[in-house]
């Protein structure tokens, strides 16, 4: 795969080895062009102007809903809500359905490998409502502890008749673990069919094909900026029946049906959840990003990243042996293109700084997974994450950079 030429940042920084796509992805020219085209040729507001450029903006915005729906195989574009990102998608849920369905003595269940975006809102919801907050642990292979050796999923004492919410990440942003979410949700619903199931797909949507109907979840959230799109735009998908039953999220313009001095009636799903002028350019940019990803093919992308991650793990292990401790499952079949490690006693910030001196960008720290780092008994780790524009040469440079880290600091 040779798509570096599509990413203008490499014209500005030809030497850049970008291995932090887990934090945010670089942007290809078609995405930048789509945003510039909106701002320079039809930058009108949507849903209200009775003139040509507003109608075009509305059409592009609403067409993106259909593109997103097909991207995740949602039954209807009306189940797609545009948000500012995964974080807002989750907060939308905790402040709407969370408030109306969770109470004293109920249970909210999540996992210890969640990003803070899918952990803190649920934790605080549970604390504020007096619900039990239950966290599924990982095993020594850095998969969820509910996965038993014979393939059985054991949710005994985890999911009960009191469970109201079950939320889980599809791909861990730190471990790279791909959770068997379809099977886990089936097991959850087998115990208690009324549990509302939420999937954080922030690290999955950029890299794997997603089918919400196949997963069997009730809600799924992801961000545009991690999948070649602009920052400030994200998606919440939800089952129409649930969305229709939920109260609105924010109140104001564009989300109403009729307003009088005495009362207000709300617009239908999904517009009920999109108050105010949305990030129109962002949504239009997201459509260009999805189109770009589909031209390459999600399966091709997954294979490419998987090959790079395997190569990186092999090369790092070969070069540094036991000095490096890899996080994540040893079975490459359970992993996405994320390689996270600790390097002896060398601090992740020092690793990152010396790699940056060699134009290699990685993530150092806790990657917004402090409960997971506490569970692993480490304060910080170093993460290299791969995407369409990365090459084997990037991995070789990473290994060279790590040799320099070792020379400098030990």
* Residues that contact other proteins, how many (by CB under 8 A): 16
Q: Residue 339, SS3? A: strand
Q: Residue 169, SS3? A: strand
Nearest one of 237, 312, 301 to 273, comparing CA atoms: 237
Nearer to other proteins, 269 or 369 (CB): 369
Contact between 367 and other proteins per CB under 8 A: no
Q: Of the listed pieces 96-104, 142-150, 320-328, 373-381, which binds other proteins according to CB under 8 A?
A: 373-381
Minimum distance from residue 91 beta carbon to other proteins (Å): 21
Minimum distance from residue 389 beta carbon to other proteins (Å): 25
CA torsion through residues 303, 306, 311, 312, sign: positive
DSSP character at residue 187: H
Nearer to other proteins, 239 or 373 (CB): 373
Which is it for strands 219-223 and 234-238: parallel, antiparallel or unpaired?
antiparallel
Q: Using only the alpha carbons of the chain, give its radius of gyration.
A: 22
Rounded to 5°, the CA angle 191-196-200 comes to: 115
Contact between 409 and other proteins per CB under 8 A: yes
Minimum distance from residue 350 beta carbon to other proteins (Å): 5
Q: Of the listed pieces 81-89, 99-107, 158-166, 362-370, which binds other proteins according to CB under 8 A?
A: 362-370
Residue from 43, 124, 128, 408 binding other proteins (CB under 8 A): 408
Nearest one of 399, 336, 287, 394 to 3, comparing CA atoms: 394
Minimum distance from residue 13 beta carbon to other proteins (Å): 17
Residue from 3, 44, 53, 380 binding other proteins (CB under 8 A): 380
Nearer to other proteins, 338 or 351 (CB): 351
Please compute, for residue 217, the number of CA atoms within 13 A of its CA located in the half-sphere on the CB side: 28
Q: Of the listed pieces 9-17, 159-167, 171-179, 363-371, which binds other proteins according to CB under 8 A?
A: 363-371
Contact between 33 and other proteins per CB under 8 A: no
Contact 146, 93 (CB under 8 A): no
CB count in 10 Å sphere of residue 60: 19
Per DSSP (E only), the strands in 190-259 are 196-200, 219-223, 234-238, 256-259
Minimum distance from residue 124 beta carbon to other proteins (Å): 18
Nearer to other proteins, 40 or 345 (CB): 345
What's the full length of the chain, in residues?
410
Nearer to other proteins, 197 or 382 (CB): 382
Minimum distance from residue 370 beta carbon to other proteins (Å): 7
Nearer to other proteins, 128 or 408 (CB): 408
Contact between 159 and other proteins per CB under 8 A: no
Minimum distance from residue 251 beta carbon to other proteins (Å): 33
Q: What is the DSSP string of 244-261?
A: HHSPPSS-STTSEEEE-S
Contact between 370 and other proteins per CB under 8 A: yes
State which of positions 297-356 bind other proteins (CB under 8 A): 347-350, 353-354
Contact 245, 96 (CB under 8 A): no
Nearer to other proteins, 246 or 376 (CB): 376
CB-count exposure of residue 227 (10 Å: 0-12, 13-18, 19+): buried
Nearest one of 211, 239, 195, 315 to 79, comparing CA atoms: 239
Residues belonging to the active site:
368
Residues near other proteins (CB under 8 A) are 347-350, 353-354, 357, 364-366, 370, 373, 379-380, 408-409
């Amino acid at each position: 795969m040779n798509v570096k030429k599509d990413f203008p940042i490499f014209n500005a920084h030809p030497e850049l080895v970008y291995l932090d796509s887990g934090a945010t992805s670089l942007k290809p020219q078609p995405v930048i062009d789509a945003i510039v085209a909106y701002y320079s040729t039809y930058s009108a507001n949507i849903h209200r102007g009775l003139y040509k450029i507003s109608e075009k903006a509305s059409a592009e915005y609403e067409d993106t809903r259909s593109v997103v729906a097909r991207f995740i195989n949602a039954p209807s574009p009306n189940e797609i809500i545009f948000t500012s990102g995964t974080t807002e998608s989750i907060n939308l849920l905790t402040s709407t359905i969370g408030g109306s369905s969770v109470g004293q003595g109920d249970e909210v269940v999540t996992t210890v490998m969640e990003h803070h975006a899918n952990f803190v809102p649920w934790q605080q919801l549970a604390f504020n409502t007096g619900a039990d907050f239950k966290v599924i642990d990982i095993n020594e292979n850095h998969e969820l502890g509910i996965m038993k050796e014979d393939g059985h999923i054991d949710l005994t004492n985890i999911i009960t008749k009191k469970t109201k919410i079950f939320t889980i990440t599809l791909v861990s942003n730190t471990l790279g673990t791909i959770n068997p979410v379809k099977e886990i949700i089936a097991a959850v619903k087998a115990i208690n069919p009324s549990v509302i199931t939420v999937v954080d797909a922030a690290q999955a949507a950029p890299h794997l094909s997603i089918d919400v109907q196949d997963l069997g979840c009730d809600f799924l959230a992801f961000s545009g900026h991690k999948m070649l799109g602009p920052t400030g735009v994200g998606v919440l998908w939800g089952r129409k029946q649930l969305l229709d039953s939920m109260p609105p999220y924010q109140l104001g313009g564009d989300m109403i049906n009729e307003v009088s001095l005495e009362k207000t009636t709300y617009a239908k799903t999904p517009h009920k959840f999109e108050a105010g002028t949305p990030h129109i350019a962002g949504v239009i940019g997201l459509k260009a990003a999805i189109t770009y990803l589909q031209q390459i093919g999600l399966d091709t992308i997954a294979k490419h990243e998987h090959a790079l991650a395997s190569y990186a793990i092999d090369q790092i292990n070969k070069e540094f042996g036991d000095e490096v401790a890899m996080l994540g499952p040893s079975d490459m079949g359970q992993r996405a293109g994320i390689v996270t490690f600790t390097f002896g006693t060398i601090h992740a910030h020092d690793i990152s700084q010396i790699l940056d001196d060699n134009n290699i960008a990685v993530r150092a720290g806790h990657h917004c997974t402090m409960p997971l780092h506490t569970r692993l008994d480490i304060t910080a780790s170093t993460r290299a994450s791969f995407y369409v524009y990365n090459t084997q040469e990037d991995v070789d440079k990473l290994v060279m950079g790590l040799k320099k880290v070792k020379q400098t600091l030990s």
